[in-house]
Structure 1
């Protein structure tokens, strides 16, 4: 079984990983787990989560590492930074959305990738970030083993990440239900309940 680990810090944006974690967790081929720097965290929406792992105890064998945005990505953690750097160098799938992309920029982890984020203007003081020319003003960017997204791109983020890990040939149809809404979905694909 493949393992996806979602990094959630206190005041994480619970909606940003919902479509992705739901698709993965409903698959017989994937297991979803959570990691943080605390024993329990709260989402911006008040959801209380007890992660299975600490940032320092994430298993070595992880098939997908997902960094969920929120209000606490001012994180200073050299070991976690090195884990991300090594995963990127090894070509292992990494995905980051919203404030988590800011963390990656601040730590120089986007310097060899095309990427996006909430706003390039937020990164002007990041001395380790040297790749403004490859910042794309678009919702989501997939470059090799990395997917980045701004905080308003939750469905498209899920779509790109699922395609990155070759999740299912029907990813577009499955997520179009949420992207299009039920009645436009029915026009395009037919009524799943009929």
Structure 2
């Protein structure tokens, strides 16, 4: 069973997490018999944070509570406050998780935090367009590994731009293997295009009793 830790910090970009946490937490489209994941919010302190959309989140646990295991998944959302030194601890934890094969997923400003720590220097990755990481992360040396796509999956590291949340979610779900492949494809195409035939195709892929 996967434990998904969602790092929360002030000015968190609400829309970037919507697709992935909704599906992983609800399990509504999971394979038959697949266990639902445990989803926990985590932060550097127990103080409530305020998202960019004005929502208040009280963290479930602290960084030191994260279990360092291959079944741990860390989601790092974008925010305008990543430059605060109090967030270094979660990037150190991300490095530790990556080194043991756990999954780390970063989007938008969180990719800059990884870049500042040198975690993107030797791995395929993306961010908010060519030149963005050079602009915000002076020590960044991963230019030759940069891929100009909305989201890039490199084994247990999945990075995305601020506009790549849907593809990012698809790649995370695919990496965890909790959807059937045809369910995932129909889900992605429905949300990507809005065309009703993909919704009906999605419903037809679901095992009995898993349609809600």
Pair 1:30-2:42 in alignment: no
What's the CA shift for 1:89? 1.5
Q: What is the TM-score normalised by the length of structure 2?
A: 0.82
* C-alpha spacing 1:127/1:184, structure 2 compared with 1 (3 Å): same
> What is the aligned residue count?
192
Pair 1:113-2:120 in alignment: no
Pair 1:67-2:76 in alignment: yes
Q: What is the TM-score normalised by the length of structure 1?
A: 0.89
1:39-54 counterparts in 2 under 5 A? 39-54=47-62
What's the CA shift for 1:81? 2.7
Paired residue for 1:81? 91
C-alpha RMSD of the superposition = 2.1
Task: Flag structure 2 segments of 5+ consecutive residues without an equivalent.
Answer: 28-34, 205-210
User: Contact 2:68–2:96 at 8 Å: present in 1 too?
Assistant: no
Paired residue for 2:20? 20
Moved more, 79-88 or 131-140: 79-88
Distance 1:115 1:64 in 2: 17
1:77-156 counterparts in 2 under 5 A? 77-124=87-134, 126-156=137-167
Residues 41-97 of structure 1, C-alpha deviation per residue, up to 9 Å, x if partnerless? 111111111110122332334521110111111132443332111211112111000
